[in-house]
Structure 1
């Protein structure tokens, strides 16, 4: 799979009211995450889906909503990721067992999993960019991390919709939006980002650190951010190195 241009559509509440759906759908390849729906939100997020990257924690919601997310997804490629024990093929791998079930129900569906070897590569990439060992720092890489990394391999140009700049949530007058555009009464996005970033007990996503990495990547690769629109400053002084808060 190779695309000259990709729209990477996040699940952020920043997309609500954007009316970017038509522009997104005009992109050669559209990438979405987890169980983010398009039905009822097409005006803002579009309806086309070329690739969907899904976390192990979302698979039950995918199965519950299979009429929308699977049955109506001819031509869509699905990539699932999860801990290696979830992908075991000896009957004890929760995700792998569910994917076998999906394959029986929808044998023509294009379903792939991220292998253990590839997962280790993503871990090493995180350590290289941040200086932090993922496991030692109690960090779970987010679906956004996997999706952006995969998009870099597939796309010549990446237009990211709904992703804020790394320092967005530090601004005193930042806009408050739901973490998911499809959960209007859900948690506030910045509250979620900050609580995970600073968390030390238990495993957490490091959303803000990941966005610092993406900002650095955008200086080298053809990555652009919309809704909100922002550009990493060209000077290396702004994000000279990713310094995690955790």
Structure 2
């Protein structure tokens, strides 16, 4: 798969009322995450799907909503990620077993799993970019991390919709939006980001740290951010790289 232009559509509440749908659908490839729906939200998030990156924790919701998410995504590719124990092929791998079930229901489905070797590469990339070991810092890489990294391999240009800059939530007057555009009564986005970033007990996503990495990548790669629209500031001499908060 190779795309000259990609629309990477987040699940952020910043997309509500954005009217970005037509612009998103103009991209050669449209990339979505987990079970984020398009039906009923097309005006803001578009209707096309070329690639959907799905976490192991979302696979049951994908199965429940398969008529909408799978049947409506004609020709789309689905990539599933999760711990290696979920990918086992000996009957004990939850993701693998569910993918076999999905293949029986929808034999035309183009579904793939991220291999253990590739997962280790993602871990190494996180450590290289942040200086922190993912496991030691009790960090789970987010679906956004996998999606952005996969997009870098596939796309010449990436337009990201709905991703805020890393310091957005520090502003006391920041806009409050739901974490998911399709769950308007769900948790607040910045509350979710900050709680995960500061969490030390148990495993957490480091959403803000990941956004610092994405901001840094955008200085080198053809990545652009919309809704909200922002552009990374040039690094100063005292900022040689990403400052990790994990």
Q: How does 1:34-113 map to 2 (within 5 A)?
A: 34-113=34-113
Deviations 1:74-123 (A, max 9, x none): 11000000000000000000010000000111111100010000000000
Residue pairs, 1:183-202, within 5 angstroms? 183-202=183-202
SS across alignment from 2:190: helix
Partner of 1:215: 215
8 Å contact kept, 1:134–1:140: yes
Is 99-108 or 236-245 further displaced after alignment?
A: 236-245
**In 1: Cα distance, 2:135 partner to 2:14 partner:** 31
Cα separation, 1, equivalents of 2:118 and 2:235: 32
Provide the C-alpha distance between the structure 1 equivalents of 2:203 and 2:237, rounded to a whole number of angstroms.
31
User: Quick check: 1:157 aligned with 2:136?
Assistant: no
> Following the alignment from structure 1 to structure 2, what is the Cα–Cα distance between the partners of residues 5 and 179?
26
CA positional deviation for 1:245: 2.3
**TM-score, with structure 2 as normaliser:** 0.98
What is the CA distance between 1:73 and its match in structure 2?
1.6
Indicate if the aligned counterparts of 1:14 and 1:227 stay in contact, CA closer than 8 A: yes
Deviation at 1:203, TM superposition (A): 0.1
Aligned residue pair count: 246
SS in 1 for 2:209: helix
Q: Deviations over 1:19-55 (max 9, x none)?
A: 0001100110000000000000000000000000000
- How far does the alpha carbon of each residue in 1:141-185 deviate from its partner, in whole angstroms, 9 at most, with x for none? 000000000000000000000000000000110000000000000
CA offset at residue 240 of structure 1? 3.3
**Pairing 1:178–2:155 present:** no
- Rounded to whole Å, the distance in 1 between the matches of 2:238 and 2:63 is 43
User: What SS is found at the alignment partner of 1:37?
Assistant: coil
CA contact (8 A) 1:33 1:52 kept: yes
Give the corresponding residue for 2:135.
Answer: 135
Unaligned runs of 5+ in 1: none
With the length of structure 1 as denominator, give the TM-score of the two structures: 0.98
State the distance in 1 between where 2:194 and 2:202 align. 15
**CA-CA distance at 1:243 after TM superposition:** 2.2
Quick one: distance in 2 between partners of 1:34 and 1:116? 20
